[in-house]
Amino acid sequence: MTSHGLDPDLDDDMFELWSQFQQNATARLRKAAPTVTNVTLWTSTLTSTPDLAAKIPSRGHIIQIWTDSLDKIIPRILEQNYSVGQVNL
């Protein structure tokens, strides 16, 4: 992380590096497979951040919900205009 000018002790910096990785991986996927329209992310600490849409654009991403249907993260994800998929647990 320090090679990217980020502090490994700061959560915000970890999320920044994670989102950079995700965006880079998505760009490579779309270059290799141009017909891919959506990329699926599982719920995680990254998708729990209040400003997820600032880190990962909602357009072209689906958030796969891996928690129960009462999880407080679901309304936040929906409010940021993400498409979602639900896994029944």
**Rounded mean pLDDT, 12-18:** 86
Digit-coded pLDDT (tens) for 46-64? 888 888 998 899 999 999 9
Q: State CA 62 to chain mean position distance.
A: 9
Could you tell me the pTM of the whole model?
0.79
What's the domain range around 49? 2-86
78: pLDDT strictly greater than 70 = yes
pLDDT of residue 3: 83
Number of domains in the chain: 1
pLDDT of residue 88: 61
Write 42-48 long-range contacts (CB < 8 A, 24+).
Answer: 42/66, 43/67, 43/71, 43/73, 43/77, 45/15, 46/15, 46/18, 46/19, 46/22, 47/73, 47/77, 48/73, 48/76
Residue position matching structure tokens 């497979």 = 33
